[in-house]
Amino acid sequence: MIIDKYFPSLTNEQRAQFAQLDELYREWNSRINVISRKDIDQLYCHHVLHSLAITQMLHFSPNTRVIDLGTGGGFPGIPLAILMPEVDFLLVDSIGKKIKVVTAVALELGLKNVCVQHARAEQLRGEKSHFVVSRAAMRLPELVKLSTPLIEKKEQFNALPNGLICLKGGDLTSELHLFRQRALVEELYPAFDDEYFKNKKVVYLPL
């Protein structure tokens, strides 16, 4: 499994959970399309490994609270929750059928560190997290606007201050214009040496 190449210290339970993802997503995708039909064969590279690339920026400390905003089919939240069982993840999406899939996958995997919520970001007023993560196709200014009210301002115990970490692709010049003094950007290639990761980046902003 390609995950082992980049994360060789997985436990047997984690390996088993990652191995389950293929069958689970194929089964659910046949009913509710959360991954494009042509992309399902690239599940581990294009979705699971891409989700785990968040760790190129930061590996969350135990007891960190993380909101995955616009989780879609559960990315990056589900793979990150498998990798970091001592971190608490809230996976949020406004589309009910996607949340149905995510709920079923998390339940089947036995992920006790995952909660799932069918909501828009603006409805999460009571939730406070140390970090928001996202792989959603949303421009950075909009992501920052939605994420800022969700960030815990006082309690800090990670290697980076609390904020937003998102996965992006392509030319980010215009998106980063407002934040270029604060943003950290990591290229994912060649640390992840598959062609897919050329032009893929992970972006961090303290909020």
Determine whether the annotation assigns residue 75 to a binding site: yes
Decide: helix, strand or coil at residue 9. coil
* Residues in Cβ contact with 41 at an 8 Å cutoff, skipping those fewer than 6 apart: none
Measured distance CA(207)–CA(205) in Å, rounded: 6
Determine whether the annotation assigns residue 135 to a binding site: yes
Measured distance CA(26)–CA(50) in Å, rounded: 18
Residue type for position 2: I
* Residues in Cβ contact with 182 at an 8 Å cutoff, skipping those fewer than 6 apart: 205, 206
Per the annotation, where are the binding residues?
70, 75, 121-122, 135
Per the annotation, where are the binding residues for S-adenosyl-L-methionine?
70, 75, 121-122, 135
